Amino acid sequence: MKTVYDFTVKNKAGEEISLKTYEGKVLLIVNTATGCGFTPHYEPLEEMYKEMKEQGFEILDFPCNQFANQAPGSDEEIQTFCTMKYGTDFPRFAKIDVNGETADPLFVFLSEQKPFEGFGKGLKVAALKKFADMNNKTYGDKAYIGWNFTKFLIDRKGNVIARFEPTVDMKEVKKAVAAALEES
Protein backbone atom coordinates (compact mmCIF):
# COMPACT_ATOMS: atom_id res chain seq x y z
CA MET A 1 0.00 0.00 0.00
CA LYS A 2 1.35 3.39 -1.01
CA THR A 3 2.03 6.02 1.69
CA VAL A 4 3.42 9.55 1.68
CA TYR A 5 6.84 8.00 2.34
CA ASP A 6 6.89 6.82 -1.29
CA PHE A 7 7.21 10.43 -2.52
CA THR A 8 10.07 12.82 -2.98
CA VAL A 9 9.66 16.58 -3.05
CA LYS A 10 11.97 19.51 -3.70
CA ASN A 11 13.18 21.70 -0.89
CA LYS A 12 13.64 25.46 -1.26
CA ALA A 13 17.10 24.88 -2.73
CA GLY A 14 15.63 22.60 -5.42
CA GLU A 15 17.11 19.42 -3.93
CA GLU A 16 15.11 16.19 -3.92
CA ILE A 17 14.01 15.17 -0.41
CA SER A 18 12.42 11.82 0.37
CA LEU A 19 9.42 12.05 2.66
CA LYS A 20 10.87 8.95 4.36
CA THR A 21 12.85 11.62 6.23
CA TYR A 22 9.65 12.19 8.22
CA GLU A 23 8.83 8.53 8.85
CA GLY A 24 7.34 7.97 12.31
CA LYS A 25 6.08 11.55 12.66
CA VAL A 26 2.57 12.97 12.45
CA LEU A 27 2.52 15.35 9.48
CA LEU A 28 0.30 18.20 8.41
CA ILE A 29 0.91 18.87 4.71
CA VAL A 30 -0.37 22.27 3.58
CA ASN A 31 -0.50 24.18 0.29
CA THR A 32 -0.01 27.84 1.10
CA ALA A 33 0.06 31.35 -0.37
CA THR A 34 1.42 34.60 1.00
CA GLY A 35 -1.30 36.89 -0.41
CA CYS A 36 -4.42 34.92 0.48
CA GLY A 37 -7.20 35.77 2.91
CA PHE A 38 -6.20 32.57 4.73
CA THR A 39 -2.53 33.58 5.07
CA PRO A 40 -3.12 34.37 8.77
CA HIS A 41 -3.40 30.57 9.21
CA TYR A 42 0.39 30.73 9.48
CA GLU A 43 -0.03 31.99 13.07
CA PRO A 44 -1.97 29.02 14.49
CA LEU A 45 0.12 26.65 12.36
CA GLU A 46 3.32 27.99 13.91
CA GLU A 47 1.77 27.85 17.40
CA MET A 48 0.84 24.19 16.84
CA TYR A 49 4.29 23.46 15.51
CA LYS A 50 6.05 24.99 18.52
CA GLU A 51 3.69 23.26 20.94
CA MET A 52 3.73 19.77 19.38
CA LYS A 53 7.04 19.43 17.53
CA GLU A 54 8.70 17.63 20.46
CA GLN A 55 5.90 15.04 20.34
CA GLY A 56 6.85 14.11 16.78
CA PHE A 57 4.81 16.60 14.76
CA GLU A 58 5.92 18.29 11.53
CA ILE A 59 4.21 20.76 9.22
CA LEU A 60 5.29 20.58 5.57
CA ASP A 61 4.54 23.83 3.73
CA PHE A 62 4.17 23.83 -0.06
CA PRO A 63 3.62 27.29 -1.57
CA CYS A 64 1.37 27.34 -4.64
CA ASN A 65 0.47 30.18 -7.00
CA GLN A 66 -2.46 28.49 -8.76
CA PHE A 67 -5.19 30.33 -6.86
CA ALA A 68 -5.63 33.92 -8.10
CA ASN A 69 -1.83 34.48 -8.21
CA GLN A 70 -1.68 34.71 -4.42
CA ALA A 71 1.90 33.38 -4.12
CA PRO A 72 3.75 35.25 -6.89
CA GLY A 73 7.12 35.53 -5.13
CA SER A 74 10.19 33.37 -5.52
CA ASP A 75 10.86 30.60 -3.01
CA GLU A 76 13.30 32.94 -1.26
CA GLU A 77 10.79 35.81 -1.13
CA ILE A 78 8.12 33.49 0.26
CA GLN A 79 10.52 32.17 2.90
CA THR A 80 11.47 35.72 3.94
CA PHE A 81 7.83 36.80 4.14
CA CYS A 82 6.79 33.82 6.27
CA THR A 83 9.68 34.03 8.69
CA MET A 84 9.58 37.82 9.06
CA LYS A 85 5.79 38.31 9.26
CA TYR A 86 4.72 35.07 11.00
CA GLY A 87 7.95 33.70 12.50
CA THR A 88 7.41 30.31 10.89
CA ASP A 89 10.03 27.69 11.62
CA PHE A 90 8.49 24.60 10.03
CA PRO A 91 9.87 23.18 6.76
CA ARG A 92 8.92 25.05 3.60
CA PHE A 93 9.46 23.43 0.23
CA ALA A 94 9.78 24.70 -3.33
CA LYS A 95 6.69 26.25 -4.88
CA ILE A 96 4.57 23.66 -6.68
CA ASP A 97 1.35 23.22 -8.63
CA VAL A 98 -1.40 21.26 -6.90
CA ASN A 99 -3.90 21.13 -9.79
CA GLY A 100 -3.85 20.31 -13.48
CA GLU A 101 -1.41 18.39 -15.66
CA THR A 102 1.55 19.81 -13.72
CA ALA A 103 0.19 18.94 -10.27
CA ASP A 104 2.81 17.59 -7.91
CA PRO A 105 2.33 13.79 -7.56
CA LEU A 106 2.23 14.10 -3.76
CA PHE A 107 -0.84 16.35 -3.91
CA VAL A 108 -2.51 14.12 -6.48
CA PHE A 109 -2.01 11.20 -4.07
CA LEU A 110 -3.22 13.17 -1.04
CA SER A 111 -6.35 14.25 -2.92
CA GLU A 112 -7.06 10.73 -4.13
CA GLN A 113 -6.86 9.49 -0.55
CA LYS A 114 -9.09 12.28 0.80
CA PRO A 115 -11.07 13.94 -2.02
CA PHE A 116 -12.62 17.40 -1.80
CA GLU A 117 -16.05 17.27 -0.13
CA GLY A 118 -16.88 20.98 -0.07
CA PHE A 119 -15.96 24.05 1.93
CA GLY A 120 -18.83 23.86 4.43
CA LYS A 121 -21.58 26.44 4.92
CA GLY A 122 -21.95 30.18 5.48
CA LEU A 123 -21.60 33.47 3.60
CA LYS A 124 -17.80 33.42 3.61
CA VAL A 125 -17.88 29.88 2.24
CA ALA A 126 -20.31 30.86 -0.54
CA ALA A 127 -17.96 33.64 -1.67
CA LEU A 128 -14.94 31.32 -1.59
CA LYS A 129 -16.81 28.63 -3.52
CA LYS A 130 -17.60 31.11 -6.30
CA PHE A 131 -13.91 32.09 -6.68
CA ALA A 132 -12.71 28.50 -6.35
CA ASP A 133 -15.16 27.23 -8.95
CA MET A 134 -14.07 29.91 -11.45
CA ASN A 135 -10.40 29.19 -10.76
CA ASN A 136 -10.65 25.41 -10.83
CA LYS A 137 -12.80 24.97 -13.94
CA THR A 138 -9.62 25.35 -16.01
CA TYR A 139 -8.29 22.16 -14.37
CA GLY A 140 -11.41 20.04 -14.95
CA ASP A 141 -11.10 16.61 -13.36
CA LYS A 142 -7.57 17.51 -12.28
CA ALA A 143 -8.74 20.19 -9.81
CA TYR A 144 -7.49 18.28 -6.79
CA ILE A 145 -7.29 21.16 -4.33
CA GLY A 146 -10.07 23.73 -3.87
CA TRP A 147 -8.01 26.64 -2.51
CA ASN A 148 -4.94 27.72 -0.56
CA PHE A 149 -4.35 26.35 2.94
CA THR A 150 -5.90 22.94 2.35
CA LYS A 151 -4.37 20.68 5.00
CA PHE A 152 -3.80 16.92 5.00
CA LEU A 153 -3.16 15.06 8.25
CA ILE A 154 -0.82 12.07 8.01
CA ASP A 155 -0.37 9.47 10.74
CA ARG A 156 3.00 8.09 11.87
CA LYS A 157 2.71 5.25 9.33
CA GLY A 158 2.39 7.65 6.38
CA ASN A 159 -1.36 7.23 5.87
CA VAL A 160 -3.63 10.16 5.01
CA ILE A 161 -6.17 10.27 7.83
CA ALA A 162 -7.92 13.62 7.34
CA ARG A 163 -8.34 16.57 5.02
CA PHE A 164 -9.18 20.07 6.20
CA GLU A 165 -10.34 22.75 3.82
CA PRO A 166 -9.16 26.31 4.58
CA THR A 167 -12.61 27.12 6.00
CA VAL A 168 -12.24 24.60 8.83
CA ASP A 169 -11.54 26.27 12.18
CA MET A 170 -7.89 25.86 13.12
CA LYS A 171 -8.97 24.68 16.59
CA GLU A 172 -10.52 21.62 14.90
CA VAL A 173 -7.29 20.99 13.01
CA LYS A 174 -5.31 21.24 16.25
CA LYS A 175 -7.65 18.76 17.98
CA ALA A 176 -7.18 16.25 15.16
CA VAL A 177 -3.39 16.67 15.25
CA ALA A 178 -3.35 16.15 19.03
CA ALA A 179 -5.48 13.00 18.67
CA ALA A 180 -3.17 11.63 15.96
CA LEU A 181 -0.14 12.25 18.18
CA GLU A 182 -1.81 10.39 21.07
CA GLU A 183 -2.86 7.43 18.89
CA SER A 184 0.55 6.74 17.53
Q: Which residues are catalytic?
A: 36
Reference 67, options 104, 42, 41, 96; nearest CA is: 96
What are the CB-based long-range contacts (under 8 Å, 24+) for 11-18?
Answer: 11/91, 11/93, 11/94, 12/75, 12/76, 12/79, 12/92, 12/93, 12/94, 14/94, 17/93
Distance CA 169, CA 89 (A): 22
Cα→Cα distances 140→29, 107, 146, Å: 23, 16, 12
